[in-house]
Chain A
Amino acid sequence: MWFVVVSLAALSMGLASCARESSAQQQSTAQPAQPSGGAQKQPGAAQSSDAKGWPTPNVVNPMPGTEGIRTISPLPGGEWRLPNGDLANTRYSTLNQLTVENVRNLRVHSTFSTGIPRGHEGGPLIIGSTMYVVTPYPNNLIAIDLTRPGGAIKWVYQPDPSPQAVGVACCDIVNRGASYADGKIIYNLLDAHTVAVNAETGEEVWRTRVGDIHVGETVTMAPLVVKDKVIIGNSGGELGVRGRVTALDVATGKEVWSAYNTGPDADVKIGDGFKAWYPKDQGKDLGARSWPGEQWKLGGSTVWGWISYDPELDLIYYGTGNPGVWNPDLRPGDNKWSSSIIARDPDDGSARWAYQISPHDAWDYDEIMENVLVDMPFDGRMRKLLIHPGRTGFVFVLDRETGELLSATPFQPVNWATGYDLKTGKPNENPEKRTHFGRVVREICPSSTGGKEFIPSAFSPRTGLLYIPAHNTCMDYEAIEANYIAGTPYLGAEVKMYPGPGGFHGELVAWDPVNARPVWSIREKELPVYSGPLVTAGDVVFYGTMDGWFRAVNARNGQVLWQMQTGSGIVSNPVTFLGPDGKQYVAVYSGVGGWMGAVAFPSVSADDPTAALGVVGAMGVIKKHTTPGNMVYVFGL
């Protein structure tokens, strides 16, 4: 991570120059397929709206076929037990009481305040007739009895994590949710502990230390329960933390295995069972040898996003963060296994395959994003797919048995690479966009916040579409400025971020992964989309915006069916469930924050360039739209 300086003036210049420069940028920027109809006739037009002032979608391409699509993990119905609903990260629910026809009658059913006005990422779990909410630090777990009118607190579990973690966490004091298994709610604390709490009584069953906050290690991700194990990844790559995943025993919390993402094969658990598809990812001890000296020891490559699991292949999948600590000029080499996708055996942690998305990252493109697992016809035959919409701005489609790259297509403006060579698995890089200390590089797209962040997308087997919460930002890498850490002065890069070409800053993209093109999209002029969509068997997509709208849209054409303004910006992921009355409800947190959203906090000055790791430049405008919040909203008919 790194910081960014953007004055508001630069931001408005960035916006104003988009239309003017759009033709030039189209030459230099690998654009996703441009909308051809509807509202997008004029370059620079962000988003048109209908008579109610609601946004109208850009419809670009026809719907794909859905024959042969097969989900591979039990799908959520009445309950929501895992962070993204199922093990395959589809965020698809089989519930269909809420439909394209009736969702216009959606209303607030109940509200609840967590009392902590910081970024509310992730989403609640619903087990039986109880809703479980994990708050931002101090990471309380609140059990809400849904059988009582309006919902009532059953109990509050307070884990009392070490306050020192707050000074260590990079990007607000968020938590991204919990998993349920074996009668326990299991989640991570900011101070790098995992706790299991009795779902009935709220009593702590076990607590395990999974990292060391004194060396900068925190945990913000939502753990995934796979069989009898809890899989956890760490955060803190920007402080030199060495990325790893750890498996704990669900019953006892005892560590079963831990595997690093950098270092010799023994540390990475690469053995005889490992077979990478591409020669570039084959060879002994690449996690050490692709770094100078012993730099891999401070090599970042942390795991702060999502874990997926395929119960049929019995493999877990996750993405790794950018190579830590060293500026790119100091770490010649591929720097494995940073910015990679890794498949492992959940029982012993042994690696099965790995694919490095961006060797020798120079842009802070973490690739910790969700991996959506689905079986579907691809190029004429059934394939077991892993779909990864990345920070690099590309949607990657891989064969999840082998790690072969089947396609890589930009879903947002991209110019650091023109595409990927499917034969070698390597990006076709644009050397002019590679950053070097002391060299000015302008208009790098996407910026380091990426074509999307960790916010998970959703996939519907009924439409064959992936619903991607996207950002459109570019950056200038410029002069250097004096900074100061722990009494030591140094010069850091001054980076300016601004909305990319096209006159929009955020976009919900309905993406056809087989034909590698957008089908429709809804654009946000001033803010990124930072809420992970939910898609249902009623063909409704639910998601929120950073200026606080909660929206239901038609999964087939993007038509906005209903929307309501909540109290604060939404950076969370809605869930759906059946209430004790047998009716379908949708729940979402409204509480702006996180890396980009923290700019909305009153304590963060819009002209403090280091605030929120410096995305302030691109995000200063958020203060016009929203203020912090801490609400759980439940909607129903």
Chain B
Amino acid sequence: MCSAFRQAIATLLVVVAAGAAMDVAVIRSHQVKGAARADDPRVLRVPLQSAALAATPETSSDELRVCADPNNMPFSNERGEGFENALAELVAKDLGRTVRYIWWPQRRGFIRNTLAAGKCDVVMGVPATYELAEPTRPYYRSTYVFVTRADRNLRITSFDDPRLKHLSIGIHTIGDDYNNVPPAQMLAFRGLVNNVRGYSIYGDYSKPDPPRDLIDAVARGEVDVAIAWGPLAGYFARREPVPLAVHPLQQDGGPQSPERLGLPMTFDISMAVRPGASELEAALNGVIARRKKEIAALLSRFDVPLVSSRPAREVAASRSKE
């Protein structure tokens, strides 16, 4: 039973106790048949609400409290298999601490319910220009990529590739009017809408790796090409039953290119702390500088497509402009 629920019951019982003369029955529901419950092995035990309403855990200087998604490979999962899990271990070791995870799906409200609520000290990945938290220096830079079956030999690297008019294209949908992945908008600018198929980034959270469905769709031939964020695409493309090809988007500087339209396809990714946690931020920046090689090796192990980073100075400048 989650602690929020316990709290609610406790509150009710206090009310009940206060009216001692009252004749009260608390009726528990029957176990539901058919519906997926917490003891169902298919269901990830995700303590969503417990973190929201439970008292904030005590901070210990021996611990690095990390908020992470329990079901979002290749970034993180409950079993610690993601590259952000590995990075958290690396960082904690360098700082002489041990990692403690606070799990929360990385969706709308993630920062609000985790870092901003004081539940943890750090999240391992956000865009370097992110405004909801205090990002560290970026530790990698990746790009959106085109994923195709290797046996098709398509080698698409640009939104202006004329074959895109006739191929079926899969993209992730973020939802929320006005909010979608940048490739969605690039396709819309070109009138490529009828052959676009959407795969919810949220997927089916009762299954492992919900956003993976888009890459699986290429493997099973449901779409000809998927346009997806590099780390996710790179990792899953190597783990499909058929060989898939991953081609980073090439920026050509043309009139409808992403950079001319102000729609970046490459992003610097940082860790993030609460605004004002400058001591920890400095410590993390130190780790990023000291452990550059190990971090690069780690990302390579997870097949994260990297593009060369802009100098940190430039990132800072663009951030202040935004």
**A interface residues with partner B (beta carbon < 8 Å):** 1-3, 113, 115-116, 135, 137-138, 140, 142, 148, 152-160, 162-164, 166-168, 170, 193, 195, 201-204, 207, 209, 212, 214-216, 237-240, 292-295, 297-298, 322, 324-332, 361-364, 435, 437-438, 448, 477, 479-493, 495, 603-605, 608-611, 613
B104 CB contacts on chain A under 8 angstroms? 167
B29 CB contacts on chain A under 8 angstroms? 157-160, 195, 204, 207
Among B72, B193, B207, max chain A CB count under 10 A is at: B193
Known: A326-B180, A485-B106. 9 other contacts (CB 8 A): A113-B15, A115-B14, A140-B12, A154-B23, A201-B27, A214-B207, A326-B198, A330-B184, A332-B193
* Residue B317 lies at the interface, judged by CB distance under 8 Å to chain A: no
CA distance A240 to B251 in the complex (A): 31
A489 CB contacts on chain B under 8 angstroms? 127, 229, 267, 269
B198 near A487: Cβ-Cβ < 8 Å = no
Among B25, B113, B322, max chain A CB count under 10 A is at: B25
A140 CB contacts on chain B under 8 angstroms? 8, 12
Contacts A155-B27, A216-B200, A240-B198; is A486 near B106 (CB within 8 Å)? yes
B5 near A138: Cβ-Cβ < 8 Å = yes
Interface CB pairs A-B, < 8 A, 21:
A1-B175, A140-B8, A152-B23, A154-B23, A154-B24, A156-B12, A162-B35, A204-B30, A215-B200, A238-B175, A240-B198, A240-B202, A325-B175, A329-B189, A362-B177, A437-B178, A484-B126, A485-B174, A486-B105, A605-B112, A609-B131
**4 tightest Cβ-Cβ pairs between the two chains A and B:** A115-B11, A493-B178, A492-B179, A214-B206
* Residue B34 lies at the interface, judged by CB distance under 8 Å to chain A: yes
Contact of A295 among B49, B198, B205 (CB under 8 A): B198
* Residue B148 lies at the interface, judged by CB distance under 8 Å to chain A: no
Q: List residues 46-87 of chain B with CB under 8 A from any CB of chain A.
A: 46-50, 52, 69, 72, 75
A437 near B185: Cβ-Cβ < 8 Å = yes
Q: List residues 124-179 of chain B with CB under 8 A from any CB of chain A.
A: 125-127, 129-132, 172-179
B210 CB contacts on chain A under 8 angstroms? 486
B172 CB contacts on chain A under 8 angstroms? 488
CA distance A486 to B111 in the complex (A): 12
CB-nearest residue of chain A to B33: A207
Among A3, A148, A438, A485, max chain B CB count under 10 A is at: A485
Q: List residues 183-205 of chain B with CB under 8 A from any CB of chain A.
A: 184-185, 187-189, 193-198, 200-205
B188 near A158: Cβ-Cβ < 8 Å = no
B90-98, B240-248, B256-264, B291-299 - the one binding chain A: B256-264
A157 near B177: Cβ-Cβ < 8 Å = no
User: Distance (Å) between the CB of B67 and the closest chain A CB?
Assistant: 13
CA distance A554 to B93 in the complex (A): 69
* Residue B310 lies at the interface, judged by CB distance under 8 Å to chain A: no
CB-nearest residue of chain B to A112: B15
User: Distance (Å) between the CB of B52 and the closest chain A CB?
Assistant: 7
* Residue B234 lies at the interface, judged by CB distance under 8 Å to chain A: no
Contact of B4 among A138, A294, A493 (CB under 8 A): A138
A481 near B179: Cβ-Cβ < 8 Å = no
A332 CB contacts on chain B under 8 angstroms? 193
B112 near A482: Cβ-Cβ < 8 Å = no
B26 near A158: Cβ-Cβ < 8 Å = yes
Contacts A115-B12, A490-B179; is A329 near B19 (CB within 8 Å)? no
* Residue B107 lies at the interface, judged by CB distance under 8 Å to chain A: yes
CB-nearest residue of chain B to A236: B175
A322 near B2: Cβ-Cβ < 8 Å = no
CA distance A613 to B176 in the complex (A): 10
CB-nearest residue of chain A to B14: A115
- Residues of B in contact (CB 8 Å), total 97
Contact of B26 among A115, A156, A330, A608 (CB under 8 A): A156
A293 near B182: Cβ-Cβ < 8 Å = no
A202 near B27: Cβ-Cβ < 8 Å = yes
B290 CB contacts on chain A under 8 angstroms? none
A170 near B108: Cβ-Cβ < 8 Å = yes
CA distance A322 to B179 in the complex (A): 14
Q: List residues 29-47 of chain B with CB under 8 A from any CB of chain A.
A: 29-30, 32, 34-38, 46-47
Contact of A327 among B12, B177, B197, B232 (CB under 8 A): B177
CA distance A115 to B8 in the complex (A): 6
A361 CB contacts on chain B under 8 angstroms? 177
A240 CB contacts on chain B under 8 angstroms? 173, 175, 198, 200, 202
User: Distance (Å) between the CB of B136 and the closest chain A CB?
Assistant: 15
* Residue B116 lies at the interface, judged by CB distance under 8 Å to chain A: yes
CA distance A336 to B54 in the complex (A): 43
B188 near A325: Cβ-Cβ < 8 Å = no
* Residue B305 lies at the interface, judged by CB distance under 8 Å to chain A: no
CA distance A491 to B179 in the complex (A): 7
B15 near A238: Cβ-Cβ < 8 Å = no
* Residue B9 lies at the interface, judged by CB distance under 8 Å to chain A: yes
A135 CB contacts on chain B under 8 angstroms? 8
* Residue B28 lies at the interface, judged by CB distance under 8 Å to chain A: yes
Q: Contact mask B258-298 → A, CB, 8 Å, 1/0?
A: 00011110010100000000000000000000000000000
CA distance A82 to B242 in the complex (A): 56
A297 CB contacts on chain B under 8 angstroms? 198
* Residue B117 lies at the interface, judged by CB distance under 8 Å to chain A: yes
CA distance A425 to B157 in the complex (A): 45
Contact of B125 among A159, A480, A484, A491 (CB under 8 A): A484
CA distance A152 to B21 in the complex (A): 9
B130 near A487: Cβ-Cβ < 8 Å = no
B202 near A160: Cβ-Cβ < 8 Å = no
CB-nearest residue of chain A to B125: A487
CA distance A604 to B261 in the complex (A): 34
Contact of B11 among A116, A195, A203 (CB under 8 A): A116
A327 near B201: Cβ-Cβ < 8 Å = no
A488 near B181: Cβ-Cβ < 8 Å = yes
Contact of A152 among B19, B34, B106, B194 (CB under 8 A): B19
A482 near B35: Cβ-Cβ < 8 Å = no
A486 near B107: Cβ-Cβ < 8 Å = yes
A207 CB contacts on chain B under 8 angstroms? 29-30, 32, 35
CA distance A448 to B182 in the complex (A): 23
B178 near A487: Cβ-Cβ < 8 Å = no
Among A164, A331, A609, A611, max chain B CB count under 10 A is at: A164
A298 near B8: Cβ-Cβ < 8 Å = no
CA distance A420 to B298 in the complex (A): 60
A292 near B194: Cβ-Cβ < 8 Å = yes
B22 near A153: Cβ-Cβ < 8 Å = yes
Contacts A138-B5, A488-B211; is A610 near B132 (CB within 8 Å)? yes
User: Distance (Å) between the CB of A285 and the closest chain B CB?
Assistant: 15
B107 near A485: Cβ-Cβ < 8 Å = yes
Contact of B267 among A163, A170, A477, A482 (CB under 8 A): A482
B203 CB contacts on chain A under 8 angstroms? 215
